[in-house]
Amino acid sequence: ASMPSVLVELGYLTNAQEARYLNSDRGQTYLAKGIFRAVRKYKKDYDKGLVSSE
């Protein structure tokens, strides 16, 4: 059996501006929603046979 996977890198905590955004409620909400939408779209496309599991 195979399982699709993804590595998500959103920014660098060593960058002060990115660290503030990544630690903010607004930044976390925006990024979490984006990741959710991407996974949901992949799942829909996968279920329709539009993408490969490889």
Question: What is the per-residue pLDDT across 19-41, written as a single tens digit (0 to 9) for each?
Answer: 999 999 999 999 999 999 999 99
Instruction: Quick: pLDDT tens for 45-54.
Output: 989 988 875 6
Instruction: Quick: pLDDT tens for 3-24.
Output: 778 899 999 999 999 999 999 9
pLDDT, residue 11, reads: 93
3-class state of residue 2 by DSSP: coil
Q: 0.75 cut: is pTM over it?
A: yes
Question: Who contacts 12 (Cβ-Cβ below 8 Å, separation ≥6)?
Answer: 18, 19
